[in-house]
Structure 1
Amino acid sequence: MASADVILGTENKGNSASVETVPDIVVPENVTQPNANEVDRDDNNDSVDVFINNVVCTFSTRCHLNLKRIGMEGVNVEYRRDSGKVMMRIRNPYCTATIWSSGKITCAGCTSEEDAKRAAKRIARSLQNLGFRVRFANFRVVNVLGTCSMPFGIRIGLFSKQHPHQASYEPELHPAVTYKIRSPKATLKIFSTGSITITAPSVENIQLAVQHIYPLVHEHKMPKPKVEARDYKDRD
């Protein structure tokens, strides 16, 4: 019976990732095992590292915001008059906020839900320091982007045929299979190299989506494509 440890981490620019181990993914006993000469046996026990690349959140200040004033008096801001918004950036945690005059603010760029909330509060505090009567309200995470790489390649053509209701594969348009999960809600882009990109409304859904997809793609495992040296020479 094949299993894999799922490790949930974050990719911070220049910082080491904090890692948390979650329960093993167990592949059902009826999974077809490939030829031993075709896939390395060691990959059955390899861990699957899941990295959170971006967390998008929104919140409201419950007050009108003078964008021109923010652009003139704020720090690390960019007033985009044509778009009717202000871009504000902070470094710790790294975040880019889009500020609208209605008081709605969208923050993107964090690598955890905790950092996203901390960044949102820092943005709200910066606006308070400019004299606005800001009340931090209606905070919620709206989208999370995660990535992982399986320890094997995937026959995505066969995979999409076995799951016609959830999977969509148009090789002429995109090299990946789009696989949608209703519960937990998530959308996955599955590549033949074993790389998977997941978008979901929360970090927990990212983790559950990987646990859900592992035994399904394991049935169609194949050797990982090898990049040879001459491939790089051809690109030069």
Structure 2
Amino acid sequence: MTDAEYEIVNVVLSVSYKDVEFDLEKIASNLEEARFDPEIYPGLTYRISEPKATFLLFTTGNVNCMGAKTVEGAEKAVGKLTNKLQNLGFDVEEPEVEVRNIVTSVDFHRRFDLEEIARNFHRTEYNPEVFPGLVFRMEGTNVAILLFVEGEGICVGAKKEEEIEEAIDRIEETVEPINS
């Protein structure tokens, strides 16, 4: 049905460990890939390579996970983090995990007339002097696709893969291609 191809490039999760306060200094001194400089940033950065993910940990027990290419990979990374924290003596259970954003690269295999799209669709933003892409917001959702003249796009704001596919279908069904 669709000619477009997409690839998930980043999954962002919010992770909440209940009733725990993290000693970020302790974590930083015990995990080789952890970086903590409270004078620059109040959170600790921790990277793992398999599955690839980066975490921002805060003393409150809240964590952001980013950099995974799948939701499953991000959730697996959170499981590894939980095990590491338990091994360091923190009393953490399975955290609450919520998908915040799935960032996707899209190739529509066609060119777009961004000025025409901006004139014809009310949920768009286009200011080529500031940014070369057009922001196309999907109605009734937090999903937006940044469209570029050459036919590439970046989909942001989706929490499920179905939302990405719906947004791509909407662009393909409603936006006229430039005749080459």
If asked which structure has higher relative contact order (CA below 8 Å, sep 6+), I would say 2
Deviation at 1:138, TM superposition (A): 1.7
Normalised TM-score (structure 2):
0.93
Render the CA deviation track for 1:87-138: whole Å, top value 9, x for unaligned.
1111111000001011101000001111111111111111111010012222
* Residue-by-residue CA offset, 1:201-222 (whole Å, 9 max, x unaligned): 32321121111111222x2323
Specify the SS of the correspondent of 1:222.
coil
**3-state secondary structure, aligned to 1:172:** coil
Where 2:168 maps in the other structure, the secondary structure is helix
Query: Who wins on radius of gyration, i.e. which is larger?
Result: 1
Equivalent residue, structure 2, for 1:41: none
Which aligned pairs between 1:151-190 and structure 2 lie closer than 5 A?
Answer: 151-163=109-121, 165-190=122-147
Q: Secondary structure at the match of 1:221?
A: coil
Contact 2:53 2:77 in 1 (8 A): yes
Cα distance in 1 between the residues matched to 2:52 and 2:116 = 41
User: Which sections of structure 1, spanning at least 5 residues, go unmatched?
Assistant: 1-23, 26-46, 224-236
What's the TM-score, normalizing by structure 1? 0.71
Unaligned runs of 5+ in 2: none
Does residue 130 (structure 1) correspond to residue 88 (structure 2)? The answer is: yes
Alpha-carbon distance in 1 for matches of 2:174, 2:134: 13
| Equivalent in 8, 13, 16 of residue 60 of structure 1 | 16
Q: Is the 8 A contact 1:176 1:192 kept in 2?
A: yes
**Percent of paired sites with the same residue:** 22
Q: Counterpart of 1:197 in 2: which secondary structure?
A: strand
> Once superposed, which parts of structure 1, at least 4 consecutive aligned residues long, lie more than 2 Å away?
182-185, 220-223
Aligned to 2:59: 101
CA contact 2:123–2:139 (8 Å) conserved in 1? no
Q: Does 1:85 align with 2:43?
A: yes
Number of residue pairs matched?
177
| Aligned residues of 2:109 and 2:151 also touching (Cα < 8 A) | yes
CA distance in 2, matches of 1:184, 1:209: 10
AA aligned to 1:124 is T
